[in-house]
Each structure stands twice: as C-alpha cells, then as structure tokens.
Amino acid sequence: MSKWLYDPETDSRNGKEFTYNLPIHENEDLLLGFTYRQIMDEVIANYGHNVTEKEIRKQVNEHLEMVKENMEENLMLCIDSMLKEIKEA
C-alpha cells in the first residue's frame, strides 16, 4: 500500500476507525503491477538460485495475493471519496 495513502506503522490512529478524506490522485494506482526482475529477486531470496518452475509459479501467486490484499485495502480507504467524485462527474 502506498505510504502516501496510509502508513499503519506511523499512523497514531493505528487500530482505530477513522475517515480517509484526502483527494484521490489522478495517477495513483489501485492495482500495482510488478516486473520480471522483482519476481526473480523474490524467488532468489525465498528459494535460492536452484529453483523449479513450480517454485516460480508459487512465488508469482503469492505476490498476486499480496497485491490483491493491498488493492482491497486501498479501495476501502478511498471508496467514499470515489463514490462522491463519481456522483459529481
């Protein structure tokens, strides 16, 4: 999740309900992509250099799950602002 949206490590409201009311930036991605290099680096870190195709696919699936969770968190933080902006358009 983008630290510009919310950083649970430093936010004083951590663990408490709050309203997210900052503007949605035009170029803020809801679902972030990833590069081949990023996946290769993660595979090497988790499995070493002698990996199998199955381990690479497993790493990609784990990465996709993490990205999906982050997307859903971002969406929930911004959903009210999105609804308001859609209705005003």
Domain boundaries, the chain: 36-88
Provide the pLDDT for residue 41. 92
- Give tens-digit pLDDT for 26-51: 666 666 677 889 889 999 999 999 99
- The average pLDDT across 5-16 equals 60
The answer to whether residues 73 and 8 touch, using CB atoms and an 8 Å cutoff, is no
Provide the pLDDT for residue 1. 45
Provide the pLDDT for residue 74. 80
> What percentage of residues in the chain have a pLDDT greater than 70?
64
Per-residue burial over 48-86, b = 16 or more CB atoms within 10 Å of its CB, e = otherwise = eeeeeeeeeeebeeeeeeeeeebeeebeebbeeeeeeee
